[in-house]
Amino acid sequence: MPDRAAAEQSNEEGHEASDRGETMAAEHAYRAAIAADPEWSVPYYNLGLLYKYQSRWAESAAMNARAAALSPEDQASWWNLGIAATALGRWREARRAWRACGVAVDDGDEPPVFTWGQTPIRLDADGLGEVVWARRLDPARARIVSVPLPTAAHRWGDIVLNDGAPDGERVVDGHTYHVFNALAVLEESRFETFVVELASVPDGAIAVLAAIAEEQGGAAEHWGEATRILCHECSHGVVHDHHKDEAPPAHPHCGLAALDPAQAETILARWLEQTGADVIKWYVAPRPAGA
């Protein structure tokens, strides 16, 4: 017979182990909870959540699918099933999960594409935690439209898998945008990040650089104007007043997204002809070790 009391005890032990970072113990405890009461959805969801943050996508999908079957009204299980199915490229299953969450999407074997605008995405949430802008493709995918800093393993144009739980906010022109954490890179961009060190920049020159880069299929931005270093509380919450007037800029250089050095040189040559900007040097940003 199901033993809900024993299942609840094991489930709580799983929470405690997870909070301590003891993932193997947490997994064992959640499985004990499932064995004690196989018809209780909660430990399946918790185990699926544990697997999600370990990128064990097939196992996460299986656990969340079971949790959703046992408790169809629980959108959290459906949402995490949608994320895991997206990571696995199981588009029909992902679409079914999004519909259960109230998203209007038809059946199909192709990835859904929505026009949901842009959102801030936090890269490497357990590391430097850089936040960039990305265009949302669906509830769990976004394409990076900023030029990430040279310390990032990500590149302009990468399609990332994003979590569904907001982790902070950014307010731009009176509009509030939720920040979502990137969980994985689903599709690597062919573009590289080039660092352009500048001695002087005439007014409007960066806009010209961005326009020329866009004509070539790439992108450019002034990191000194687009980047701020935030404390942990601000990055994962709402930016506090003490960050409003900080100086100097976080990074004085420009970022250029180009396919290769030849394309970057073409873009920069055209830019220098049109603006007279003073470039000290430019170079490709090496990808961090392990990226």
User: How would residue 226 be classed by pLDDT, with cut points 50, 70 and 90?
Assistant: low
Pick from 283, 290, 216: which is nearest to 255 by CA?
A: 283
Q: Which residue has the higher pLDDT, 244 or 177?
A: 177
Instruction: Look up the CATH number of domain 4-100.
Output: 1.25.40.10
Q: Name the segment(s) of the chain with CATH classification 1.25.40.10.
A: 4-100
Instruction: Look up the CATH number of domain 192-284.
Output: 3.30.70
Q: Which residues contact 90 (CB under 8 A, 6 or more apart)?
A: 61
pLDDT, one tens digit per residue, over 84-107 is: 999 999 999 999 999 999 999 999
Say whether 242 sits in a helix, a strand or coil. Answer: helix
Among 80-84, 217-221, 247-251, the range scoring the smallest mean pLDDT is: 247-251
* The pLDDT of residue 250: 44
How far is residue 164's CA from residue 220's CA, in Å, rounded to a whole number?
Answer: 29
Token pair recorded at residue 97: 């999960």
How far is residue 68's CA from residue 71's CA, in Å, rounded to a whole number?
Answer: 5
Q: Mean pLDDT for the chain?
A: 91
Does this model's pTM top 0.85? My answer is yes
How far is residue 16's CA from residue 53's CA, in Å, rounded to a whole number?
Answer: 16
Strand 180-187 versus strand 118-122 pairing type: parallel
Q: Are 165 and 125 in contact (CB under 8 A)?
A: no
Containing H/E element for 194?
strand 192-200
* The pLDDT of residue 251: 46
Q: Name the segment(s) of the chain with CATH classification 3.30.70.
A: 192-284
pLDDT, one tens digit per residue, over 8-40 is: 999 999 999 999 999 999 999 999 999 999 999
pLDDT, one tens digit per residue, over 233-269 is: 555 555 555 455 554 444 458 999 999 999 999 999 9
